[in-house]
Amino acid sequence: MKPYEYARPNDLDEALALLSDTWGETEILAGGTDLITCMKQHVTEPSRLVSLRDIEALRGITVDDESVSIGAMTTLADVAAHAEVRTLYPAIVTAIEGIGAAQMVNAGTVGGDCCQRPRCWYFRTENGLLAQANGESLVPDGDNRYHAIFGNEAAAHFVSPSSLGPALIALGAEMFITGPGGATRTVPAGDFFKRPESEAERETVLAPNEILVAIRILKLGLKNATYEVRHRAGLDWPYATASVAFAYDDEKVSAARVVLGHVAPTPWSVPDAAAKLEGSAVTEKHAAACGEAAIGGATPLSKNGYKLQLARTAVKRALLAAAGSTKEA
């Protein structure tokens, strides 16, 4: 690991002033569960770390009549334990609990989860984010069992690692961002994640000197759930996930969002599949049809075709779980 400077500012402005406008020169440190690993793997070699740990304003959950706001430095454990979050947003709670280890959710933060780097094993062994050698991706002819089945026709083949991402998009969350000089902007979660086209880019719309400050989720009364296909119970990654949210009045779906996770370089919204549910009840049959529609257009690689079956099932089960939660309420 390269020697680096460690800065621990106690307000946001100070933190922003310490950030470079070039990726990799400085890095934002939250819980450190991913960033430190990235540094050990030489994925990034910053000369300065800017810790957000002492910036109190970034931590905590506030609830008002309209929405729930979560500070970026709130730990995943605190989010999953929050009473209001638990009742309103099971899609988020399942996503966090799925991570499977108290150590990880106690240290990991909401901001860190959204901005964590992909786990692609070519990326993590110094082949770059796009995993290329001589301008060609190593992934299609390599071992791609955990790689993307959607959105993989361009340079990126990794999957977005964030389990929160799909849940936030399904719930229509907004991401609050602050940049140089305190400039703020708000981005819908659905626009926050992006697919990098070159090594100079990263996986979100953040600029190197911008900080994700908070996430706000409106209280729209949406039925919602996440279903994750996981094998091991402890700290691990899911093979595919689906987060869904929809209004459900008189057993009729409206405003449905269906978002797949761990299948594409970004959380993968499938609006056409969601549209299929419009106006109908969430039955086993409808949910299965939606799952089927969700995997239409997938472009699996040599070793990850199995993910289609998993994604299809995840959608079906997430929909049924969300509808089920309605009945109990």
Residues numbered 240-299 forming contacts with another protein, rule: CB under 8 A: none
The 3-state DSSP composition of the chain as helix, strand, coil percent (nearest 5) reads 30, 25, 45
How far apart are CB 146 and another protein at their closest, in Å? 8
Cα 11 to Cα 271: distance, rounded to the nearest angstrom: 40
Residues 6 or more apart whose Cβ sits within 8 Å of residue 295: 149, 308, 311, 312
Phi, psi of 283 (to 5 degrees): -100, 165
Amino acid at the residue 192: F
**With CB cut-offs between 5 and 8 Å by kind, which of ligand FAD, another protein, none does residue 241 bind?**
none
- 3-state class of 270 per DSSP? coil
**Options 77, 171, 189, 211; binder of ligand FAD; rule CB under 6 A:** 211
**Options 61, 91, 155, 212; binder of ligand FAD; rule CB under 6 A:** 212
**Secondary element (H or E) of residue 126:** none
For another protein, the closer CB: 184 or 309: 309
Report which residue's Cβ sits closest to ligand FAD. 112
Task: Decide: residue 172, CB within 10 A, 0-12 exposed, 13-18 middle, 19+ buried.
Answer: middle
Asked if 104 is part of the footprint of ligand FAD (rule: CB under 6 A), the reply reads yes
Amino acid at the residue 315: V
For ligand FAD, the closer CB: 107 or 218: 107
Segment interacting with ligand FAD (CB under 6 A) among 86-94, 107-115, 271-279, 304-312: 107-115
**With CB cut-offs between 5 and 8 Å by kind, which of another protein, ligand FAD, none does residue 27 bind?**
ligand FAD
Count of CB atoms situated within 10 Å of the CB of 305: 12
Cα 43 to Cα 118: distance, rounded to the nearest angstrom: 11
**Secondary element (H or E) of residue 108:** none
Cα 26 to Cα 46: distance, rounded to the nearest angstrom: 5
Residues numbered 136-195 forming contacts with ligand FAD, rule: CB under 6 A: 161-164
Asked if 236 is part of the footprint of ligand FAD (rule: CB under 6 A), the reply reads yes
**With CB cut-offs between 5 and 8 Å by kind, which of ligand FAD, another protein, none does residue 190 bind?**
none
Asked if 111 is part of the footprint of ligand FAD (rule: CB under 6 A), the reply reads yes
**Options 86, 145, 185, 285; binder of another protein; rule CB under 8 A:** 145
**Secondary element (H or E) of residue 112:** helix 110-115
Check residue 248 and report its DSSP letter: E
Cα 246 to Cα 77: distance, rounded to the nearest angstrom: 25
Asked if 233 is part of the footprint of another protein (rule: CB under 8 A), the reply reads yes
**With CB cut-offs between 5 and 8 Å by kind, which of another protein, ligand FAD, none does residue 238 bind?**
ligand FAD
Residues numbered 307-326 forming contacts with another protein, rule: CB under 8 A: 309-310, 313-314
User: Which chain residues interact with another protein by CB under 8 A?
Assistant: 1-2, 42, 119, 121-122, 125, 138, 141-143, 145-146, 229-234, 236, 239, 303-306, 309-310, 313-314
User: Which chain residues interact with ligand FAD by CB under 6 A?
Assistant: 27-35, 52, 72, 98-99, 104, 107-109, 111-113, 115-117, 161-164, 206, 211-212, 235-238
